[in-house]
A and B are shown apart, each in its own frame.
Chain A
Amino acid sequence: MTSPALSYPEGSAAFPHESLVGIGGLAPHEILFLLDEAEQWVELNRHPQKHDDRLTGLTIINAFFENSTRTLLSFEIAGKRLGADVVNMHVAQSSIKKGETLIDTAMTLNAMHADAIVIRHGSSGAVQLIADKVDCPVLNAGDGQHEHPTQALLDALTIRHALRNKTGGSFNGLTVTLCGDILHSRVARSNILCLTSLGAHVRICAPPALIPADIEAMQAEVFHDFDAALDGADVVMMLRLQLERMQGQFIPSAREYRHLFGLTAERLARARPDALVMHPGPMNRGVEIDSDVADLADRSHITRQVEMGVAIRMACLDVLTRKVRRVEGWT
């Protein structure tokens, strides 16, 4: 289990950031460094004895101000596999309900000498706000509609694994189509930043009301016709339709949405024959993605994404705590 140090600047120069707040601000080689770091954990996680002790004695707090099942579980497993003491703070049990401000909560966590804090919050910028106030590394597990960097990293890792034989692991020239509620999606923003930074071409597809203004400035190509957006795509990433937040304001109904933007087997045929199907989950089967597509054995990488998620989060926790662990070259 060694770092892929050879291809990167020495020590902390490979990843000089204190926290992981977003993909925005990361250089392409820093993204690749995290992906390469994660490879060792992909391997480890496939062993029956999947444990490493490098974070022994460190305390990691998962502070989730917004409900989450899979991301929280993924971060918890990642921390535990590296030997850290992992504590989960759920919003329902927190003082936020009693009117405590976010900053006060952050200062409380800080005073407990956490060695890393993983935060999910419903407001864009909340994680940056906390990162500016606490002494330890902060990992963004999703802030409002802003960023969800570990999701983008795990998606990139999934693509790289799946296309290793085809492209040799390069993202150059890949066409990735993202379809769904781009407007409200932090996953979409992080993925656009990550994939374009690595050289892929990103298409986004949604009805106009779900496309953020001037998204072209982020190098994404906008489509409203899903068939056209799929044409020749190497990767098709579906986003969850957040029905609970729409209330008829953005789309008339789930079945009408499926009619225009649902990934059916028929539509998928417009993409490249070996195109990957991805979805960050949880899926609305029969709405944005049909079951027979989601379950395609050789094409759907949805469970692979979950697997890569644990590895990526292990890599992020490892890299960001190297300073406190006084790893050589990282102090």
Chain B
Amino acid sequence: MSAAPPLTITNGKLVLPDGEVRDGALRCADGHIAALGDEEPQPGDIVHDAQGKLVTPGLVDLGVFTIDKPAFHFGGITRAALMPDQSPPLDIPARVRFAASSGKPDFWVHPLAAATRGLEGTELAEIALMRDAGARAIATGRAWIADSGTMLRVLQYAAMLDMVVCTHAEDSGMTGSAVATSGEIATRLGLPSAPAEAEPLAIARDIALAEFAGARLHLRQVTTARGLDLVRAAKDRGVAVTAGTTPAYFMLSDLALAHFRTFAHLSPPLRCEADRKAVLDAVRDATIDVIASSHDPRGPEDKRLPFADSAPGMAGAETLLPLTFNLVRDGVITTSRAIELLATNPARILGVNAGHLALGAEADIAVIDPDKPWIVDSSEMAARAGNTPFDKQPVQGRVLALFKGGMRVGAKQAPS
């Protein structure tokens, strides 16, 4: 595939899977990591001097709604799991095959197969055919599968195929048309709201069904204290459950909805401050396995509307890395744990040989300056649209160079 010359990244701080950050070099050949440690570049190698910055695996983003390469490359993301909520949905093999090849060569898309036809939550989609067309996992989409019988059959089928099921955990009977979490903010703004309990209810059912079916379950975004307690308890008794979140849920609470700011209209909706802190704790104690961007760029036609009429979602690819590295600076997690959350764990859940710096792994490499300061500006984003709730926020952490399969890709350069 790649006829590129070998690459040696020198003078880096390698973030290794054993939890160590070690000074050294990394050599890639034939699109894979060929050597790690005190390598010297060999004649004919392309040499990239990391200048003492972090050398990490490219980020693996478990759950995005759009393939938006400039934003992903800006954010150090080399692979993303594409949600089936496309138009039309990823519920037949041909669409999955197309999606799987749509980013190559400098970005890899791992389509998530729709669990049910049309994502309607009733009939099983052709999951095995989609797997063979390139789907790496199954997803219920933006919505929960309300019918427990259907969900059980999805999980049993997924167990047979050894595929993980990514679920959106909100009890749809409770949420209805809610756009906010019940509480003082939603009450003052007069927004349709649902209690946060919609999440633990859905999680409890999905864990029970997954346990019964012997299936692997990934809760794509867990946002509440009680939901996280259920995940923690399930993990303790050995259930094959993993949990993800996005930076919004540990950075923001529903206060961000003030003035009807539609950029803070997310799904699940932002929660109360206590839940925000619980997400932080769950990142710290490894109840949460994955931090993803849930990248969903939306233009004014979707966002410059009254709050309840606007579409949920945020452009998150560019802020995923710096907001996660906030947690490193704050002492919540270590650098290697950040990489585990952003790359290693999502790659493992998807079953791809990436997301870690190990011999033989795909040479998806990011060179990161974790301290480089910059300011998020919604009007100057690499993403297709600037719908970020972090507009004008100073952040730290920037990708200096990005390599996919050992080849340099067009990561937007930081202004020097």
Contacts and interface: CB of A to CB of B under 8 A. Distances in A.
Interface of A: 24, 101-103, 121, 123-126, 128-129, 143-147, 186, 189, 212-215, 217-218
B176 to A, nearest CB: 9
Contact of A214 (B183, B190, B259): B183
User: Which of B188, B195, B301 has the largest number of chain A CB atoms within 10 A?
Assistant: B188
B193 interface: yes
B167 interface: no
B304 A215 contact: no
Contacts of B260: 124-125, 128-129
A327 to B, nearest CB: 30
A123 B308 contact: yes
B306 A126 contact: yes
B187 interface: yes
Contact of B190 (A102, A124, A129, A213): A124
Contact of A101 (B183, B184, B186, B301): B301
Interface in B244-261: 259-260
B47 to A, nearest CB: 52
Q: DSSP class of A's interface residues: helix, strand, loop or mixed?
A: mixed
A124 B306 contact: yes
Contacts of B186: 212-213
Size bin of chain B's contact surface = 20 to 34
A163 to B, nearest CB: 28
A144 B308 contact: yes
A214 B191 CA distance: 13
Contacts of A215: 187
Contacts of A146: 189-191
Contacts of A24: 188
Contacts of B259: 128
User: Which of B187, B193, B301, B304 has the largest number of chain A CB atoms within 10 A?
Assistant: B187
Nearest to A217: B184
Interface string B198-215: 000000000000000000
Contacts of A214: 182-184, 187
B403 interface: no
B305 interface: yes
A213 B185 CA distance: 9
A123 B309 contact: yes
A189 B183 contact: no
B107 interface: no
A126 B329 CA distance: 40
10 contacts: A102-B309, A103-B305, A124-B306, A125-B308, A126-B306, A145-B190, A146-B189, A212-B182, A214-B182, A214-B184
Nearest to A220: B187
